[in-house]
Amino acid sequence: MSQISDITTPGFEPPRNVQFSVFLDNRVGKLLELIDALRGHALTLAAFSILDSADHAVVRILTSRSGLARRLLEQHGIPFGEADILVIELDADDTMERICQSLLQAELNIHFAYPLLVRPHGCAAIALHTDDHHLACQILRRRMFTLLGENDLGDNATPNDATTL
């Protein structure tokens, strides 16, 4: 049985990546406070994206160890939400256009996407959130995209590319 057909068997789970949406007052130094809360612990800040408004900012972060990141955010009293996201590695043949075409054929919406700070396996990668996480994973795997889990984002990332805190 080929690897492609195995991905749609009952019990298949997409690689696990948890995005934290951290809510910060839009004030000088608040992003540094968030980074300091994570610094000095065995995790890698693999990606982040900032959405800001006049009063507050939402900082989306992706780490190599979501369980540890969750505990640190809770210990520091930093409000956050969580969402499962996909991380897709882009090699020379993979493009954002191919990802969009693949998901469009299944009528899946992309809610947001942002690049990673790390380059696992020496390739660029993007974080992606869709209407249906599980279906999107299956579609992308069938089209031979490489999907990464959080264990690929830390110690297994290419040396000197990770932003270890």
Q: What are the pLDDT digits (tens) for 54-67?
A: 788 999 999 999 99
Nearest Cα residue to 130 out of 152, 150, 104:
104
Is the domain of 61 the same as that of 33? yes
**Which domain-ending residue is among 83, 116, 136?**
83
Q: Is residue 65 part of a domain?
A: yes
What's the one-letter identity of residue 129?
H
pLDDT at 93: 77
Return the CATH number at 33.
3.30.2130.10
Residue 78 clears pLDDT 60, i.e. is over it: yes
Nearest Cα residue to 84 out of 133, 135, 142:
133
φ, ψ at 162 (rounded to 5°) = -80, 145
Rounded Cα gap, residues 81 and 136, in angstroms: 22
pLDDT band for position 8 (cuts 50, 70, 90) = low
Q: pLDDT by residue (tens digit) across 98-113?
A: 999 999 999 999 999 9
pTM, to two decimals? 0.83
